[in-house]
């Protein structure tokens, strides 16, 4: 006769059941009680037990009639017990009970498999996310480096083309001044030209410094700078400057490359008006239509034939190329006797 107990069940047995018992999930704590039907000195009966599937050999229990197991993993087991009397005769057949200790949900193979797959998925997702972030950071750094290198190349090119040409002109005028130092009229003319060229150098340096300053990387700063330059420049030419500006000027970001090229095109257009247009008025109109910023420069001068101007010089082509290189659009309309209008359009971005 025997009895076994788990933390969830208490079962008494008068003989071995013909079917495996089922033990619900628990902490794996099992307790078996057993005895032997011997009325000759029963207190000297001895026992051995073995939990097949857990014990590797028989456990000598002596006269103790209880077996304890802790942390028993889920699975199928057979508990066997044999008894010996006071004469040392053992009943090798003994008794046994078969049972299955059910696993918790998290102990089932499919749950562990699911956890493993989920863990692999999140690990792979995490690795992919980290890799993506690193690649984005690396790409951003490369992009920034490329932007810096491009900006440095632009500054070097502008200094070489613009400042270099002006300094060369100053050098040539200085040599002519020395050669003709005895001719007062010639010297005065050369000195006046040197002064004008030197002022051009100062203006070019100021434009370069303004363009590379990140504090000026906004549309409103560009508009103010163009207006200030136009008024100062046209005042010297006795040409009336009219400005048409929006009431609200958004601080939309503009890179130094975009600002610099826009300003140089405006500067070139104003120079052409002062030198060739014979105009009395110039209108600068700034417009913001959604994501597009546009600027028109219009004069009431003598006008010209755009086709003929394209054939005889590169000025207009260079202006168009500057605007198109930074993603903008350039258009020009002019007729002899009807003035000239230049239109610049540039898409705005929400961030740099």
**11-15, 234-238, 335-339, 344-348: least confidently modelled range:** 11-15
Confidence of residue 238 (pLDDT cuts 50, 70, 90): confident
Average pLDDT of span 173-185 = 82
Longest dimension (CA), the chain: 152
Share of the chain above pLDDT 90, in %: 28
- Taking 80 as the threshold, does the pLDDT of residue 162 lie above it? no
List, for residues 287-298, the tens digit of each pLDDT value.
998 889 999 999
Q: What is the pLDDT of residue 156?
A: 67
Lowest mean pLDDT among 156-160, 216-220, 255-259: 156-160
The reported pLDDT for the residue numbered 349 is: 74
Better pLDDT: 10 or 66: 66
Span of 17-21, 69-73, 179-183 with lowest mean pLDDT = 17-21
Residue 350: pLDDT above 90?
no
Question: What's the rounded mean pLDDT across residues 258-275?
Answer: 90
- What is the H or E stretch that residue 218 is in? none
Question: Are 246 and 287 contacting, i.e. CB atoms less than 8 angstroms apart?
Answer: yes
Q: At residue 301, does pLDDT exceed 50?
A: yes
Per residue in 316-337, pLDDT (tens digit) is 888 999 999 999 999 999 988 8
Whether the predicted pLDDT of 242 surpasses 90: yes
pLDDT value for 117: 92
DSSP state of 87: T
**Mean pLDDT along residues 8-31:** 68
* Residues 32-86 pLDDT 10s: 998 887 666 777 888 999 999 999 999 999 989 999 998 889 999 999 999 988 7
Q: Given strand 95-101, what is the order of strands in its sheet?
A: 21-23, 95-101, 75-84, 46-52, 59-62
Instruction: Pull the structure tokens for residue 88.
Output: 């040392």
Whether the predicted pLDDT of 211 surpasses 80: no
In this prediction, residue 352 has a pLDDT band, given cuts at 50, 70 and 90, of very low
Q: Please tell me the distance from the alpha carbon of residue 258 to that of residue 266, in angstroms, as a whole number.
A: 12
- The arithmetic mean of pLDDT across residues 182-198, rounded, is 82
Question: What are the tens digits of pLDDT across the range 96-144?
Answer: 888 888 898 888 888 889 999 999 999 999 999 998 888 888 888 887 7
Residue 179's pLDDT band (cuts 50, 70, 90): confident
At residue 86, the pLDDT reads: 78
Tell me the DSSP string of 288-300.
Answer: EETTEEEEEEEE-
Average pLDDT, the chain: 83
Residues written for the chain:
352
pLDDT for 265 beyond 80: yes
CA distances, 263 to each of 49, 126, 315 (Å): 98, 47, 15
Q: CB neighbours of 266 closer than 8 A, spacing ≥ 6?
A: 226, 229, 230, 284, 295, 297, 344
With vertex at residue 285, the alpha carbon angle to CA 255 and CA 212, rounded to the nearest 5 degrees, is 20
- The span from the CA of 188 to the CA of 92, in Å, is 135
Extract the tokens encoding 232: 């100062």
pLDDT of residue 1: 45
Helix axis angle, 256-272 to 109-158, nearest 10°: 30
pTM: 0.55
Q: Are 29 and 69 in contact (CB under 8 A)?
A: yes
Instruction: Write down the residue that tokens 């198109």 correspond to.
Output: 324
User: Exposed, middle or buried, 269 (CB in 10 Å: 0-12/13-18/19+)?
Assistant: buried
State how far the Cα of 282 lies from the Cα of 274, in Å rounded to an integer. Answer: 10
pLDDT at 341 over 80: yes
């Amino acid at each position: 006769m025997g009895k076994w107990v788990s933390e969830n069940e208490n079962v008494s047995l008068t003989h071995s059941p013909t079917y495996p018992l089922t033990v619900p999930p628990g902490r794996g704590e099992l307790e078996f009680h057993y005895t032997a039907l011997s009325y000759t000195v029963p207190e000297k009966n001895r026992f051995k037990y073995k939990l097949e599937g857990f014990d590797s050999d028989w456990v000598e229990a002596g006269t103790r009639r209880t077996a304890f197991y802790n942390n028993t993993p889920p699975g199928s087991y057979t508990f066997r017990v044999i008894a010996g009397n006071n004469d040392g005769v053992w009943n090798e057949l003994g008794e046994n009970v078969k049972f299955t200790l059910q696993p918790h949900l998290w102990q089932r193979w499919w749950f562990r498999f699911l956890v493993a797959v989920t863990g692999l998925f999140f690990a792979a997702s995490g690795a992919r996310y980290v890799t993506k972030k690193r690649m984005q950071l690396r790409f951003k750094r490369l992009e920034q480096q490329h932007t810096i290198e491009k900006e440095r190349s632009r500054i070097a090119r502008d200094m070489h083309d613009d400042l270099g040409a002006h300094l060369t002109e100053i050098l040539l005028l200085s040599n002519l001044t020395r050669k003709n130092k005895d001719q007062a009229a010639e010297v005065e003319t050369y000195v006046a030209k040197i002064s004008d060229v030197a002022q051009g150098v100062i203006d070019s340096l100021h434009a370069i410094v303004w363009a590379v300053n990140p504090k000026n990387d906004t549309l409103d700063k560009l508009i103010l700078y163009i207006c200030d330059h136009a008024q100062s420049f046209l005042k010297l030419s006795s040409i009336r400057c009219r400005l048409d500006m929006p009431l609200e000027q958004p601080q939309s970001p503009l890179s130094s490359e975009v600002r610099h090229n826009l300003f140089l095109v405006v500067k070139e257009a104003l120079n052409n008006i002062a030198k060739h247009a014979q105009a009395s008025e110039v209108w600068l109109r700034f417009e913001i239509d959604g994501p597009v910023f546009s600027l028109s420069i219009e004069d009431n001068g003598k006008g010209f034939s755009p086709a003929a101007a394209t054939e005889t010089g590169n000025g207009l082509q260079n202006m168009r190329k500057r605007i198109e290189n930074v993603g903008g659009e350039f258009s020009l309309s002019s007729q002899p006797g009807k003035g000239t209008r230049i239109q610049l359009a540039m898409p705005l971005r929400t961030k740099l």
